[in-house]
Structure 1
């Protein structure tokens, strides 16, 4: 492997040999390997820190959002005018909370996708990356004032905003990583980077659970804003590495705007088989997640009466998810990815979800719902997502920044919208019917994973993955 972005990669052993050695390494050996990777690839430290701060900030907010979605205090969620309008027409908003929130989220994504496309098309990376995060920081300061003043309707706006923040901020992160690291480096390093996010995903809900009763919900938003500020620092430090990488590749750098049409991302998804497969995989993945999320919200609404108790409950679920995620990332993800590629990382979670929903169909117990939720999300974060992000290192920049954003936002929230209303219909027939339908969705997830595996194999291993077009 040639020298790149200011550092020289040492000769790497065969992937199967590395995977075999990984299986027998102790945690201390893995720590030494991580330290060696930091020495070999200096940008890894800033990438790790960036994702840690981003996911910590998000997971400080997520329990607050989930608690609002499960809130029985309708005035904390919807504006008074909307409540009065619905009451005059005999509509009980409290029974449609999640359906309305997910609908609002999808509409927001549709409106913001062209804005994001315009930003990416017209401004260089050094401008639009910090701008995205500074905008989110400003929003958090505004929400702090809204929560501190207990403004009615704050819940709906905040719920929608957190969903938008999560998708756009994380999408931008992984797009940026694919500018910095090659496909070969991604297979070696993305497990470490993802682990940084997982540690953040563990620390975030832990902070929320420990601080929510002492500081209150409003002050937690300031904690998250401080962490996003650190993300901006990491972006500025990683910029030179990305520019050097692009100079070595001989391609147009990130200091120039990508150009092209504002809606080019959606058009590429429609045109390219690999992107269509990734979109289908995303749709069914969102489907199984939304079905079980709604059942979890029903449980929280039934058993926890106040916002602090619900927030602590959701923080506990997030802690379990991220604990399992980091164990898998440390001991499984890298070994599978370097030895077998993306196939097992996509197919194993799909199979586990299918088994989990089949078990819930037979016995939809609350504890089993929580267990399957933990397995579902841990499998997504530790296996499926690193696999998908590795694929994006092998496509052109417009696909990374535009098509990927379209899949991660419009397709994602479109799936939310479809399945949240489907759940409302299916729930009338009982939990068994909900999870029975989920078995079919999980089967679709497996089919989508297989399609992605097949299409990404056709990309081959060209010498310049950053500029190679997608397979058609």
Structure 2
């Protein structure tokens, strides 16, 4: 039999793979662009020099009240991030309600590109306070840009496709996240910090191209499944996302899980920042240290995504992928209680972040393919931004208080957060059984035992 007769529709086969490749490129460029910036941001957060991070007027104001901002760098930065996120949440809600997808997504990324060009000028000009503004902006960029990406993926792919492809798409993003810190390590010395921002701009421009190229598949999927079209404005209140999270069990369970997950991660992040402040006092050395941590996280994540994630989601559903990161973190904090060595903090940090990226995140994102568009764009945005940064804010101050009782107390608090994360992940598993297509998404052997096709 000839190749042509064996595959009578070769163009159809190629076109069916096209959205996967465009999605891979999109996520690759998005995370590569972000991870070029992240070590710069982390170096700002770990800096003990308040004048590098904060405007002089803010430092003087704090000193007038007997406070030294260098002792509260992360606490102030996370507080500013949360306030900014709350202020932007209704703005994002208004954009989602009033503009169709074809306008909303390119505009969001165009705004991010414009901000990076402004930061390039600010870093070159040595504008005071640029460190604080850049730290806050990078956190906002990460959450909103990635949230928009996964919401868009839920428009392009249905649940069966998501469980089959999200592991690969996640691996594409992780490959970008691996390359980003490597680029930073290579380029920070010859280019300088300011010009690194232009590298990120180039990657975001490619993201806009991918958004445009994926649009036909999003339209096709909505027509085939009889869904509301994203080509029309969604309408509704700009605060609708908050109501959806409160009213819908699966969204509520995701919010609680994210609270404990981010809480545990924040405790580790603050402990890591304290280590960096002590052992890597210069901005360049701290940037390289954080870049090495990022590289280790992303290498482990991509191996997990390629070898384990797709098999778990297809064979066993979302439960193992949701539960394993919490159980691993529970064990990790237990080890830190017994052996609180700096190298162990780094190892647990790598395991925590890799588990979130490679297992928990793809598992949660597949569930958004089974909810309506308001839940995907409005409810998801509240969880991924306001809940995320609210938890950051709460736990960065919790760490400050608990750390007064010593390192062991921090790790004991981490054990409690990891236990809460595991318990609430199980509540997601239970809640998702009530979503459309629940029986069809059980593993095939379980469906056969129940007599289902």
Normalising by structure 2, report the TM-score. 0.93
Segment drifting more, 40-49 vs 158-167: 40-49
Contact 2:240 2:379 in 1 (8 A): yes
Bigger helix share: 2
1:301 alignment partner, SS class: helix
Shift in Å at residue 114 of structure 1?
0.2
2:172 alignment partner, SS class: helix
Output the CA distance in 2 between the equivalents of 1:424 and 1:384.
28
Task: Pick from 186, 210, 217 the counterpart of residue 234 of structure 1.
Answer: 210
1:434 aligns with 2:410: yes
Output the CA distance in 1 between the equivalents of 2:40 and 2:396.
20
1:393 alignment partner, SS class: helix
Contact 1:9 1:40 in 2 (8 A): no
**Partner residue of 2:240?**
264
Output the CA distance in 1 between the equivalents of 2:118 and 2:62.
27
Contact 2:263 2:391 in 1 (8 A): yes
Q: 1:37-186 counterparts in 2 under 5 A? A: 40-186=16-162
Shift in Å at residue 37 of structure 1?
8.6
**Partner residue of 2:252?**
276
Task: Pick from 309, 313, 319 the counterpart of residue 289 of structure 2.
Answer: 313
1:202 alignment partner, SS class: helix
**Partner residue of 1:13?**
none
Shift in Å at residue 72 of structure 1?
1.8
Shift in Å at residue 345 of structure 1?
0.2
Task: Pick from 358, 362, 365 the counterpart of residue 386 of structure 1.
Answer: 362
> Cα 1:379–1:38, aligned 2, differ >3 Å: closer, same or farther?
farther
**Partner residue of 1:372?**
348
Output the CA distance in 2 between the equivalents of 1:89 and 1:37.
67
**Partner residue of 1:336?**
312
Task: Pick from 336, 353, 365 the counterpart of residue 360 of structure 1.
Answer: 336
Task: Pick from 175, 181, 184 the counterpart of residue 208 of structure 1.
Answer: 184
Q: Deviations over 1:346-402 (max 9, x none)?
A: 111110000001111122110000000000000000000000000100000000000
1:42 alignment partner, SS class: helix
> Cα 1:138–1:40, aligned 2, differ >3 Å: closer, same or farther?
same
Contact 2:340 2:408 in 1 (8 A): yes
Q: Deviations over 1:266-304 (max 9, x none)?
A: 111011111110000000000000000000000111111
Shift in Å at residue 250 of structure 1?
2.5
Segment drifting more, 334-343 vs 82-91: 82-91
Output the CA distance in 2 between the equivalents of 1:291 and 1:269.
25
Contact 1:360 1:368 in 2 (8 A): yes
Shift in Å at residue 86 of structure 1?
1.1
1:256 alignment partner, SS class: coil
Shift in Å at residue 133 of structure 1?
0.2
Shift in Å at residue 426 of structure 1?
0.6
2:370 alignment partner, SS class: coil
Contact 2:432 2:438 in 1 (8 A): no
Shift in Å at residue 462 of structure 1?
7.0
> Cα 1:83–1:237, aligned 2, differ >3 Å: closer, same or farther?
same
Output the CA distance in 1 between the equivalents of 2:139 and 2:426.
28
Shift in Å at residue 249 of structure 1?
2.1
Output the CA distance in 1 between the equivalents of 2:295 and 2:245.
34
Q: 1:405-420 counterparts in 2 under 5 A? A: 405-420=381-396
Shift in Å at residue 150 of structure 1?
1.6
Q: Which runs of 5+ in 2 are unaligned?
A: 1-7, 442-453
Q: Which runs of 5+ in 1 are unaligned?
A: 1-7, 11-35, 466-472
**Partner residue of 1:18?**
none
Task: Pick from 302, 305, 322 the counterpart of residue 278 of structure 2.
Answer: 302
2:266 alignment partner, SS class: helix
Contact 1:38 1:45 in 2 (8 A): no
Segment drifting more, 359-368 vs 128-137: 359-368
Output the CA distance in 1 between the equivalents of 2:293 and 2:379.
32
Contact 1:168 1:405 in 2 (8 A): yes
Q: Deviations over 1:409-453 (max 9, x none)?
A: 000000001100000001111110000111011100001100001
1:253 alignment partner, SS class: coil
